Chain A
Amino acid sequence: MNKEELFNGISGIRGDILEEAEKYTFGTKRKNSWRKWAVMVAILCVVVGSVLTVTSILNHGGEGKQGSGKTTIIKGEDLVNIAGEDSPEPSYDTKSEYLYSELTGGKDQTDGNEPNNQEFSEQGSTARADLAGFNESMLSEQNCIAIVEGKITNRYQKEYEYSFSSNKFGEDGVMHGKDSTMVYEVTISKIWSRDFDKSKTLIVEDQNISMDEVLPMQIGHSYVLPLFDYGNEIIPFSAGNEEVLSGNLKRESRYSTIYPFHPQIESVEKGYILSADWKSLTADKATPVIMDTNFGKGYEYYKDKMVFLSERDFAEKMEYLMKRYHLK
């Protein structure tokens, strides 16, 4: 076979595939809008980290001689502002509230088996807001393919190691990269939006970002999951734009949650617990939830931003949300 024959073979691509390609519309923005922030903030963290380190060394070295210099500490909140994201403004009645333990029948928000995501985040900021915050428009920006509800039956962390070309330290250089994902097995109980195969166990795989971590869903808890089709292979973040030379990038699953860096909508007996950054869902009727149980470090930022919606209210708001973002 030669390239000409192959080209001729490609000429015989079926009409329906050609038509699909012709009609296909890519999202107007980059598929994963949080990723561009991830890259920008990674650079920012390196720059800020370097500045702070240098300043710290200078101050430390100078203390005994000339007194202290002034150092500006950049906090996570500042990074939110740099990213141009509004902080969530819950519009619920602050007089009535629920305890998380009441709603979940005493279940902790963690299952006592916290994955050690921290090792991926320690090199960067500990701020919860390193990435662009969640907003509902990500549903359309990232081509949400379905919203399903289901119970987490298993969870594990998967690591991907690979090598990529790099001229950083000389021509034809090779560097090694490592990325990780959190893989969930989900038993689907309800399809909220779009057609989806309910019969099988769904595998969902969320990719960690070097300076921030996926907020893990808990085994035994049920969640409402907006999903997108990530593709068959992880994006090798460490490689950036360089060519990956070796390593297995094949994912366990094509499906990923739209935004794995905030608590997913949790389904409980009387309704749903969700973060207030779901603005359409939490406007008007939502009731604050006090997170009174053991919760993971990553959830700290959301401690006072969780709300409850009754089953009926949630269903009503979801209808609106799905219409708004054409998910029906």
Chain B
Amino acid sequence: MEDKKILELYFKRDEQAISESRLKYGAFCHRIALNILSVPEDAEECVSDTWLTAWNRIPPVVTDSFKAFLGKITRDLSISRYRANHAKKRYSGMEVLLSELEDCIPSPFCVEVKVEEEQLSRQINRWLDALPKEDRVLFVKRYWYGETVKNLAKLSGYSESQMAQRMLRLRKSLKTALERWESQNE
């Protein structure tokens, strides 16, 4: 069913909206959750919660990209679950993502600088806009969708180590961009 039709069902408060969403985007959302949590049962629970959250938000929320909207909900729920539980369990997907992202943090003397999340997102979007398309896609797939380096290498036809090196370069590039931005704000 087309997204437009599914959204109409949400607006009509027709519960078929949830089953159609699950049918069309269940696998997509499950992949995002699993990439972050790496525990199938927890991922499944996040996906179930995704439909409920979408049900509660639409209306009034109207979205241009229903798929991205659902993906964001799943990702947020997965991150919340990670934060709530990571003292008890180890979610390897998220742990690896976070440790990689340490490479992007501007030099130590800037660590204490608190940044507005929205401003930071804006800078990241600006940096992404300037990247070649494939690099942009790779970064987003890795750090937003949480795809593994191994899977990205397989998708793009590169070896795993080449992909890891490409990711490293992207992280360094982001670090440079963030450092420049921070120095402008000082």
Contact B157 A21 (CB under 8 A): no
The answer, yes or no, to whether A16 is at the interface (CB within 8 Å) is yes
For B82, the closest partner residue in chain A by CB is A7
Contact B156 A26 (CB under 8 A): yes
Contact A17 B136 (CB under 8 A): yes
The answer, yes or no, to whether A313 is at the interface (CB within 8 Å) is no
For B64, the closest partner residue in chain A by CB is A15
Residues of B within 8 A of A247 (CB): none
The answer, yes or no, to whether B81 is at the interface (CB within 8 Å) is no
Residue-wise, chain B 151-184 has the 8 Å CB interface mask toward A (1 for contact) of: 0000111110110010011000000001000100
Within A1-44, the residues touching B (CB, 8 Å) are 1-22, 24, 26-31
For A4, the closest partner residue in chain B by CB is B98
Which one of A5, A15, A17, A20 contacts B115 once the chains associate, using CB atoms below 8 Å? A5
B: interface residue count bin = 35 or more
Contact B68 A18 (CB under 8 A): yes
The answer, yes or no, to whether A229 is at the interface (CB within 8 Å) is yes
The answer, yes or no, to whether B62 is at the interface (CB within 8 Å) is no
**Given A1-B105, A1-B115, A9-B117 in contact, is the A14-B137 Cβ separation under 8 Å?**
no
Q: What is the minimal beta-carbon distance from B144 to any residue of chain A, in angstroms?
A: 5
Residues of B within 8 A of A5 (CB): 114-115, 117, 120
Contact A13 B144 (CB under 8 A): yes
The answer, yes or no, to whether B60 is at the interface (CB within 8 Å) is no
Within B124-154, the residues touching A (CB, 8 Å) are 124-125, 128-129, 131-137, 140-141, 143-145
Contact A26 B155 (CB under 8 A): yes
Residues of B within 8 A of A27 (CB): 156-157
Q: What is the minimal beta-carbon distance from A229 to any residue of chain B, in angstroms?
A: 6
The answer, yes or no, to whether B75 is at the interface (CB within 8 Å) is yes
**Given A11-B121, A16-B65 in contact, is the A241-B133 Cβ separation under 8 Å?**
no
Q: Determine the distance from Cα of A229 to Cα of B131 in the docked complex, in whole angstroms.
A: 12
Residue-wise, chain A 240-267 has the 8 Å CB interface mask toward B (1 for contact) of: 0101100000000010000000000000
Residues of B within 8 A of A18 (CB): 65, 68, 71-72, 140, 144
Which one of A8, A19, A29, A243 contacts B157 once the chains associate, using CB atoms below 8 Å? A29
Q: What is the minimal beta-carbon distance from A35 to any residue of chain B, in angstroms?
A: 10
Q: Determine the distance from Cα of A24 to Cα of B131 in the docked complex, in whole angstroms.
A: 15
Within A117-138, the residues touching B (CB, 8 Å) are none
Q: What is the minimal beta-carbon distance from A233 to any residue of chain B, in angstroms?
A: 7
Contact B124 A9 (CB under 8 A): yes
The answer, yes or no, to whether B8 is at the interface (CB within 8 Å) is no
**Given A1-B111, A19-B67, A29-B157 in contact, is the A229-B121 Cβ separation under 8 Å?**
no
The answer, yes or no, to whether A62 is at the interface (CB within 8 Å) is no
Contact B161 A241 (CB under 8 A): yes
**Given A18-B68, A31-B156 in contact, is the A229-B133 Cβ separation under 8 Å?**
yes
Residue-wise, chain B 88-114 has the 8 Å CB interface mask toward A (1 for contact) of: 000000000111011011100011011
Q: What is the minimal beta-carbon distance from B68 to any residue of chain A, in angstroms?
A: 4
Residues of B within 8 A of A24 (CB): 133-134, 137
Which one of A3, A11, A14 contacts B76 once the chains associate, using CB atoms below 8 Å? A11
Residue-wise, chain A 263-306 has the 8 Å CB interface mask toward B (1 for contact) of: 00000000000000000000000000000000000000000000
Contact B128 A17 (CB under 8 A): yes
Given contacts A6-B104, A17-B125, 18 further A-B contacts (CB under 8 A): A1-B105, A5-B117, A9-B123, A9-B124, A11-B121, A11-B144, A12-B125, A13-B125, A13-B128, A16-B65, A20-B140, A21-B140, A21-B145, A22-B68, A27-B156, A27-B157, A31-B157, A232-B131
- For this complex, 10 residue pairs linking A to B, each with C-beta atoms less than 8 Å apart, are A1-B105, A6-B105, A10-B144, A11-B72, A12-B117, A15-B68, A21-B141, A26-B157, A241-B161, A254-B132
